[in-house]
A = this chain, B = another copy of it.
Amino acid sequence: MQKIIYTNNLSDAIRKLVIEFEPSSVHIITDENVKRHVLPGLGLDYNVISVNSGDSNKNIDSLSKIWSGLTEQGATRKSLAINIGGGVVTDMGGFAAATFKRGIRFINAPTTLLSAVDASVGGKTGINFNGLKNEIGVFASANAVIISTIFFSSLPQQEILSGYAEMLKHGLLSSSEEYTELLSFDITKADFESLLPLLEKSVKVKERIVDEDPYEKGLRRALNLGHTAGHAFEGLALQKGLPIPHGYAVAYGILVEMILSHTLRSFPSQELYRYAAYLKAQGYGFPDISCSDYDTLLGFMRHDKKNDTLSEINFTLLSAPGKPLIDQSASDSEIIAALDIFRDLLH
């Protein structure tokens, strides 16, 4: 079980963990934005390794830069890495730590809602490779995760929407009540005090699932809800040179998979309208796709890690809110039909 600390005194929590872990050295792994805007305010006196910001830099070059930084700063097997940043930093920093000298300890301190609710918890680490999302990585749990909302107020609205999509996903997996509570929250006017209890609930949904199935042999695949289609939207956008936030892609992916759930597993149609209306009201926009992109989208879905073979595309579907069904598949024509409906619903 991962140690998850909820606090708004991040520096203090980090200092306490450093005392507890007695590392031979401490290395903050972060990105240029966080280094410039967040680190100075934390007043921590440790080594810093910084990579360029953004998902397009979650690659082997940045990974090599982190490994080199650890070597140059004299890290040993008893050292401690502290990943401070969004999902790119926690995923890549976690992978760098898990593979440096065959694994050193690391702490995640997410600075975005998305990484707090998703990336920083549950042990998935990795990088993109050859244009495929998280193609390379390992399962390695952070020795501790420190969740704090202090950074959220300075995040652009887009980042908040992005993270909230994963909270909607957790709500959908958990129960109709939790999901409905989330849909009644107006994040365009977010007050981070009132978001905190929702966030804790949301992280606990993920914790519960990951503890039962850490290596994704079964139940954990439920967390992939929205991600088969979502990763395809994300990959396509990247290919077009117009990247979209991960959470937006997931928000869209959830809708596509809700439509498939309706067609194939009797998911109630009114939920499609309720969800699409929420996305529109909150300003998630819609992805720039046309029929000519369908082949590319299907290609990305087919290469998704979640598929056991290349002949079937694996989805998590729902028979109702709170009732996920893992290891579902859909044919190309069913997916294409869902993409058509998706475009109608959002445009």
A24-B309, A76-B308, A78-B308 given as contacts; is B132 within 8 A of A99 (CB)?
no
Residue in chain B with minimal CB distance to A302: B74
Chain B hits for A24, CB < 8 A: 308-310
Across the interface, A102 reaches (CB within 8 A) one of B74, B124, B307, B309, namely B124
A268 at the B interface (CB under 8 A): no
In the bound complex, CA of A64 to CA of B136 (Å) = 10
Quick check: is A139 within 8 A (CB to CB) of the other chain? yes
- Is A137 an interface residue when CB atoms closer than 8 A count as contact? yes
Interface size on A, residues (CB 8 A): 34
| Of the residues B136, B137, B309, contact of A78 by C-beta under 8 Å | B309
Chain A stretch 118-162: residues in CB contact (< 8 A) with chain B: 124, 126, 129-130, 132, 134-139
Q: Is A98 an interface residue (CB 8 A)?
A: yes
Residues of A171-208 contacting chain B, CB below 8 A: none
Smallest Cβ distance from A305 to chain B, in angstroms? 4
Interface SS, A side? loop
In the complex, what residues of B have CB within 8 A of residue A77's CB?
305-308
Query: How far does the alpha carbon of A136 sit from the alpha carbon of B136 in the complex, in Å?
Result: 14
Q: Is the CB of B136 within 8 A of A99?
A: yes
**A85-109, CB < 8 A from B:** 98-103
11 further A-B contacts with Cβ under 8 Å, apart from A67-B135, A67-B136, A101-B135, are A24-B308, A24-B309, A60-B60, A60-B64, A76-B307, A76-B308, A100-B135, A101-B136, A101-B137, A102-B134, A102-B137
